[in-house]
Structure 1
Amino acid sequence: MRRHVLATDIDPSWLKAGDGYEVHRHDVAADPPPEPGTFDLVHARLVLVHIPDRARALATMAAALRPGGRLLVEDADTALQPLACLDDSGPAQRRANRLRDAVRELLTRHGADLRYGRTPPRALHEAGLVDVAAAGSFPVGGPACDRLEAATIRHVRGEPLAAGLADDAEIDAHLAAVHAGELDLTLAPLISAWGRRPAEHPPALG
């Protein structure tokens, strides 16, 4: 059976085509679904939390499914667990938590909904999907958390500095602690929710 994989993004420049999937530019909150009613699986990871018109974007994803196809949405909920270090035991841990607060503040200013991760089960029901279920998890400690934290802080570094939410010395000290393995870093809970498009009723777009 031929498998067709399509990756879409509002900015697909970072996606490399030709590795077994196609790449299209697509704004899931504004454009109609690509190839509507044809996909066995639609997967969005850490997407909807950043999109203001989340209901429209989710309806577009659901409309891309064939009857019986499944939608999997994964989003973080930083309001459920806002800390970088659960064990707030020393200056390095408290600094990490202050910087995590700064990143959360920046996300809010950019329109992210830090409580969105808990809502996809309800949103999938409202989109007309059935057999809806969900699960949540988050890692504590380990190289993956360290790498992600360092990459995130480097990527956004200019924004907390410009907003007065951190200074260079604080960021440098935090990155040094991360690289030294001094912190048991964690992430916001990632909540995965999934549902199936019923055969009898196509989901409505908005």
Structure 2
Amino acid sequence: MSSSPHVVDPGDHRYLLDNARVEAGERFTWLAELFDGVTHGHFDRLGVRAGWRCWEVGAGGRSIPEALAAAVGPTGYVLATDIDPGWLDPHGGYEVLRHDVVADPPPQPGTFDLVHARLVLVHVPDRVRALAAMAAALRPGGWLLVEDADTELQPLACLDEAGPAQRRANRLRRAVRELLTRRGADLRFGRTLPRVLRAAGLDEVAAAGSFPVGGVACDRLEAATVRMVRAELLAAGLAADADIDAHLAAVDAGELDLTLAPLISAWGRRPG
């Protein structure tokens, strides 16, 4: 029997939120607005300073590589890698490299003071291998900082289901979560980070969580994400055109207090 055109192949592990899409740039802008402050706080906590060597894994946009380059100064070094590095600036004061953290060997193993990845490993089916590559890139005493969402921990788009628009937003968020799961994302990965960092042989492991509620950045990120995956939602039979249009209109009107899954930030240090 031939497969239905409305069923997404469960073996399809292509990244749903593809960097090649124009909406990716919008997502990077609003993710930076929402989470860069959190990430910068952890950089400060770990002591990032002049002269450090840093690897930004799955960098996506420019904001974090630029911040690291400013922090480490001319005596330091920042490498920003991505499967599709098209949104990065090759003249931004950091090195840009096309790199797959699972398929490719770690660049410059054993040399980095900091390796950082944000919202990367949750989408990578072979997370254990990717994490091992990142840990192998650390020098003795270097820090690994991994920040990933835990959508199962807080799955709602609207915490306050006050009416039909909020209920529709939550139905669409469930549909997007289903697409992510079919593409190999682990929606419970964030909570496992302390354990997996210890399993990777790191010491001094700790973690913290953060998530925003409401505001323009949440609205703009939601709109960009829904537009980005609209065709996939329709093809999978997970949403209807009318519901998507109504939801985007409600977002644009500022009628929803949207939120995101918690971002779990975990860090650990290579012994030595």
TM tier relative to shorter chain: over 0.9
Question: What residue in structure 1 maps to residue 148 of structure 2?
Answer: 75
The answer to whether structure 1 residue 63 and structure 2 residue 131 are counterparts is: no
Residue from 205, 209, 214 that aligns with 1:132: 205
Q: Note the residue ranges of structure 1 that are not aligned, 5 or more in a row.
A: 200-206
Matched ranges for 1:51-130 at <5 A = 51-130=124-203
What amino acid is aligned across from residue 80 of structure 2 in structure 1?
Answer: A
**Separation in 2 of the partners of 1:10 and 1:148?**
22
Question: What residue in structure 1 maps to residue 110 of structure 2?
Answer: 37
The answer to whether structure 1 residue 19 and structure 2 residue 111 are counterparts is: no
Matched ranges for 1:169-188 at <5 A = 169-188=242-261
What amino acid is aligned across from residue 184 of structure 2 in structure 1?
Answer: G
| TM-score computed with the length of structure 1 as normaliser | 0.95
**Separation in 2 of the partners of 1:109 and 1:91?**
27
**Separation in 2 of the partners of 1:68 and 1:90?**
52
Residue from 240, 246, 251 that aligns with 1:167: 240
| TM-score computed with the length of structure 2 as normaliser | 0.72
**Separation in 2 of the partners of 1:193 and 1:124?**
8
1:78-117 Cα offsets, whole Å, 9 max, x none, are: 0111100000110000000000001000000101011111
Q: Secondary structure at the match of 1:5?
A: strand
Deviation at 1:13, TM superposition (A): 2.1
Structure with higher RCO (Cα < 8 A, 6+ apart): 1
**Separation in 2 of the partners of 1:107 and 1:9?**
19
What amino acid is aligned across from residue 226 of structure 2 in structure 1?
Answer: I
Q: Secondary structure at the match of 2:268?
A: strand
The answer to whether structure 1 residue 8 and structure 2 residue 81 are counterparts is: yes
Q: Note the residue ranges of structure 2 that are not aligned, 5 or more in a row.
A: 1-50, 52-74
Identity %: 81
Q: Secondary structure at the match of 1:119?
A: helix
What amino acid is aligned across from residue 222 of structure 2 in structure 1?
Answer: E
1:160-191 Cα offsets, whole Å, 9 max, x none, are: 01111111111111111111110000000110
Q: CA RMSD in A?
A: 0.8
**Separation in 2 of the partners of 1:155 and 1:104?**
14
Q: Secondary structure at the match of 2:209?
A: strand
